[in-house]
């Protein structure tokens, strides 16, 4: 898998989403196996290897 892989927002599948006290939290999964967690305040991407990048 190329390290420059960019997760295609259109290819991400929403696995689940629910409302919390801080807003809606959505869990999405990419074909590459990475998970993306979106909240009202941040987006966190979890790679299959386990490292998390916030941005």
Residues engaged in binding Zn ion (CB under 5 A): 7, 30, 32, 34
- Distance of alpha carbon 23 from alpha carbon 33, whole angstroms: 25
Min dist. Cβ of residue 23 to Zn ion (A): 24
| Nearest CB to Zn ion, comparing residues 10 and 40 | 10
| Nearest CB to Zn ion, comparing residues 11 and 24 | 11
The radius of gyration of the chain from alpha carbons, rounded to an integer in Å, stands at 11
End-to-end Cα separation, the chain, in angstroms: 22
Min dist. Cβ of residue 18 to Zn ion (A): 23
In the complex, which residue's CB is closest to Zn ion? 30
φ/ψ (deg, to 5) at 13: -100, 130
């Amino acid at each position: 898998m190329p390290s420059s892989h960019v997760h295609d927002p259109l290819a991400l599948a929403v696995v689940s989403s629910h409302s919390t006290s801080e807003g809606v939290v959505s869990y999405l999964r990419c074909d590459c196996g990475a998970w993306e967690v979106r909240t009202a305040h941040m987006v966190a991407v979890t790679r299959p290897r386990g490292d998390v990048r916030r941005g």
